[in-house]
A and B are shown apart, each in its own frame.
Chain A
Amino acid sequence: MNRLPLAFLGASSTIFFVASALYVAYLRRRRPETAFWAHAAAVSGWLTLSLGGLVRLALLGRLPFGSFSDSLMLLLWALVAGFLWLEHRFALRAAGALIIPVIAVGSAYIFWRPAGGGELLPILTSPWVVAHAACIFAGYCAFTLAAVAGALYLLLEKELKEKRLFSLHFTLPSLDTLERLVSKLILWGFPFLTVGLASGAVWSRRVWGTYVPFDAKMIVALVTWFIYAAELIYTRALGGRGRRVAIASLIGLAAVALNYLALGVLVDTVHRF
């Protein structure tokens, strides 16, 4: 990656570390000013990241998703946008203490270990690939946010169970709201994942002659799809509620993370991430 977008990444990473500290401080002391500054820091971090992305876009002349760094940057950017929306819409400030540190670490990782130039192999320029990547990413983003809401559900539930009302009780919306948010985000993410996998399959048929090339990534992706499908059936068709919904969102995210991070970094194939 060029030096200019990297400079933006470094700056945004620094800002996100500051924002993380502020969100944690807000959870501890719950002062409205702290919340204001934390939010301001998150927004400026996001704007910095956006600028970096735009510069990268301008230099590359196409959507940056050719390398692990590029894709991670896109994902982080979308996650922050999603978080800011949640914060605004559901007063989910407490989520900041959970997700912003991850964003900070993620952007720092790209900054220190940027992967190469991102020249695409000729076979990767097909519109099917673009659709595949974009859809999978939208899905991942929704699932990550769902897992954040799920984690908050479990943490708030823990406070209520232990009867030691503490910071989350005073900052989070109700269990019911969190649970509905988890279901909603999964419902939004699932079609993207489905279309993403399907378009990947179509492209794979064209290039390799088979719909489902059996590499590790494909298998985990199918497992992920089944986890979320099961979760949707449990909540939508069977009327399932409560902590199991939240736990399922975390299991789903674990599968996503395994696929995206672990296999993306360890396994070196054309299907890098």
Chain B
Amino acid sequence: MNFSLSKAQFFLLLFIIQTGVVYIAFQTPLIIYSQHSAWYVFFLASIFHYGLLLFFERYYQFFFLNGFFRWVYLIYWLLITAVLIAYMGYVLASWVLPRTPEWIVVMMIVGLSLYANLVRPETIINIGVMLIPIIFLFVIFLMLAIPDLTWSNLFPVEWNNTRQIMAGMIHSMYAFFGIEMYLLYRPFLKQDLQVKGKPLLIYQLVIFIFYFISVVFTQMFFALEEVQLIPEPIMYILKSQEVNFVKRLDIFFIYIWLSWSIVTVMIYGLSFRVLYLSKKRKHPKRSIVFFHLLLAILPLFVMQFQRIEFIKNSIHYVLIVFTILLPMMIICWNKWRGKRVS
């Protein structure tokens, strides 16, 4: 796999992978666990995220995966992508497509990802560009909800409830998974480009503002007891806005979110490709097809209400292990041993 990324492409890739599927749903667990302090808990979590990014930027050369950890990450990505696809199918089925059999939706998503992964890698890297105006649309239409916001939901600002704050921080990790892709794609960035400093700060600010607006709006728009009942608050907010020329905005935005999430799934497929094919293999195309076949079968087992709820309640622990603890361990170990990524 030889391709090189420019700064814009690299950060776009990261942005799409991080915001992908979770954008409409991560606010609910965060607000349930941190109640009225959700917004500043999220602020703290973003600072932590920035610190993590700085740490990765400094030590990315030491993220060398030997055989065992390579398979760990490959399987982890396979499972995460399967869960994401199951969640996408579930949301589609409950919001817009109640009768379509689930395997058709899963097949479509997997089929698109397969098509995109069989052609050159630059295709997936650049397809995110077409999503940029769509993301702006999302934010602009969210702004329509401003007259209905109650500012008093943000207060009181209390600092004494440490249990709440810790629970909130753990649940906000939901919003930031995909960070380990930074370590995977950083070596592909052209060597002489400067990432530390301003570009990283700009990226962090962009992702922070994007997420923060959604958290704050959700908190201000809904009552606390109401949020517990709504798994996709952003879609709900959009559903209750009325515009002159169309009536139900959420129908459009569910599909916009779907196209965005499909690109996220494609990028996971690309990451699998990059990691798997970093060693010379005999039949690269076959392994990609096999990966996608697994991806088409696994989601069907979890696409039910109770299983999705179970996964939603436990996935942040998995994320903490794989995106924070494991890379740190690997980096420290390799630094001690002196092994670098060439």
A and B held together in a complex: no
Q: Contact residues of B with A, CB < 8 Å?
A: none
Q: Contact residues of A with B, CB < 8 Å?
A: none
